[in-house]
Amino acid sequence: MMENLNIKVSNISFNQKGEQTFVQLRFNSTNGQINIGGFVEATQAEFFAVSSSSDGINELARQKLVELLNQPAE
């Protein structure tokens, strides 16, 4: 089901955590049954590898969301 979500990144921000810069991708999605919004984090390398197209950035956000949702509960 997650593969079918149409993720749209609406905001990109670069933030510092200690010495490391990370990219925060704020997104929203709807597929008729599910509405979801929030943000995911990516490394600069991950972001710049796909930053030449909006489709690539949206797919990175979707992949990061899937990873986040598949993490075991703490």
So where are the chain's domains?
2-70
Q: How far apart are CA 59 and CA 29, in angstroms?
A: 12
pLDDT tens readout for residues 11-63: 999 999 899 999 999 999 877 777 889 999 999 999 999 999 999 999 999 99
pTM of this structure: 0.87
Phi/psi region, residue 18 (left: phi>0; alpha: psi -120 to 50; beta: rest), is: left
